[in-house]
Structure 1
Amino acid sequence: MNGWRRLTVVVIVLCAFWELGDCRERDDNLIRMKLGGFRDSHNSAAEIQSLAQFAVQQHNQKQNAFLELSRVLKAKEQVVAGKIYHLTLEVVDAGKNTVYEAKVWVKPWINFKQLQEFKPAPDGPKLGWQTVPTNDPQVLDAANHAIKSIQQRSNSLFPYELLEILLAKIKVIEDYIRFELLLKLRRGNKEENFKVEITKNKEGKFLMNYV
């Protein structure tokens, strides 16, 4: 009987250790997933723009190139020892717009920033209509111009107020940027949605195409 009891105790202890090890393995896997996963970056538009500009400048210095940043198409981040930002950029290369991908490693607590990779996007240029963040500074400028134009055309004594930019798309055409915006506005007690298209020329001037 004593032998059976000792055997039972050993089996119980082994099972407990196995269960503990299994839990630790699952926890470690979960931690690795959290650390290594990709997600959309929630940094401000200005911070992402600064990282994109840094990536282009570093590439130009290393390769003796003359690329110019046009805009950020997409920004994702990966948590490591710090963060690695995966940026999809539209740049001007010898007068032509093309798409590049960049990786920038940032460790803010030691003021460290390093370009890890900069290469043409594997799928080639994607320069048609692109959905962009509604808080992009260029989008906000275009929206404000649209509101002024709508106000001038309405002849209303009540001013239009921007409540929300519901959707923003842009398309680059040679030296022009075309914006297609869906705006939610308020005039007095009335709320309205306006779909507008605006063009920004190389001098930075806006022209309303339609409302």
Structure 2
Amino acid sequence: MLSGGKQEVDLQNSNNLEIDEAAKFAVAEHNDRENSLEKLTFSKVVSCHMQVVAGSMYYLVIEVEEGSSIKLYEAKVWVKPWQNFKKLEEFKLKDAGVTSADLGVRTGGPHSTGRGISAPPSGKQSWPTDDLVVQEAAEHAMKMLQQGSNSLASYELSEIVSADAELSDESADFELLLKIKRGAKEEHFKSEIHRTGDGDWSVKHVTLQ
């Protein structure tokens, strides 16, 4: 699960080995998935944002050669170095549309969760409960729930039952239905969480269902 907002990486003043490896992995994985005769060739990393997860999530803009053309692609790569683990979450032409990496801070294009392109968002939309940013929203809801509790027993998140997101140009609003466990008792809570385009979170309220 996510534990922090995205931070820009200064490529001029950082160790780029892991970043370059993640970018090259993204290009190679895309080539394998597409199985096209016209392969992309890695050129360089143009920009990088990093988010601390169980490991690191890299949001990359990668320059590639495609035949005689130079193109920019956006990639999202999850890396856990201690497990020698890499997973390509998303790979698309830059500015080809909104993805779950953007999580609703832009509108007007298709969005993708790694399961294919769907229609442009309009109003409240159902969102996959296993999306990493949905899970981050649930974490913030759980923190608020625990802070407002008078009980010494801790709440545990059993399941994200459903997730809706309403996207705007500068923010995203989530409505989550959570199954919560405290001791032997299970309850359902509904939570509304707001995220700004800068990655700042606020929990509007959490209510028992």
Greater Cα radius of gyration, structure 1 or 2: 1
TM-score by length of 2: 0.49
TM-score by length of 1: 0.48
